[in-house]
Amino acid sequence: MLNFMAIALLAAASAPAAEANSERAPPARAPSEMTNAEIKAYNDGLAMTHPYYIKCRKIEEIGSWVKKARVCRTNEQWKQAWAEGNQNARDTAEAMTRAPVNSSN
C-alpha cells in the first residue's frame, strides 16, 4: 500500500511539469537569430526530445576550409530538414536511373 501511495504522489508531482512542457509554444524568433543565452533560457525545463527543444550545430560553409555557420533549429525543424534532404536524394537517385546516361545511337 505504501509503494502505491509513493507512486501516486510521484505521478501527481510530475504531471504539472509534463503539462507545462507539452503546452510550450514554439520560439517567437528564428532559433538561428537567438543568442546562446536566449536559447538556454528557452530550453530550460524542456526535455531534449521535446519537439520545440532548440539544438545548434556548426556547419562548414561551402568554399571555405575554416569558416563555419551556426545553425539552430528546433527538433521538429531538424526532423523536417532531414526528411526533405532524404526525399531530395531519393528523387535524384530515381531520376538518374530513369534517364539515359549516354545516347550514342
Share of the chain above pLDDT 70, in %: 72
**Residue 18 and residue 14: Cα distance in Å, rounded?**
6
Judged against a pLDDT cut of 70, whether residue 1 lies above it is answered with: no
Report yes or no: 82 and 90 within 8 Å, Cβ to Cβ: no
SS3 helix, strand, coil % of the chain, rounded to 5?
55, 15, 35
**Residue 91 and residue 75: Cα distance in Å, rounded?**
24
Structure confidence at residue 24 as a pLDDT band (50, 70, 90): confident
Which phi and psi (to 5°) does residue 89 adopt? -65, -40
Average pLDDT over every residue of 50-79 = 94
Sign of dihedral through CA atoms 68, 82, 25, 48?
Answer: negative
Dmax over CA atoms of the chain, in Å, equals 84
Does this model's pTM top 0.75? My answer is no
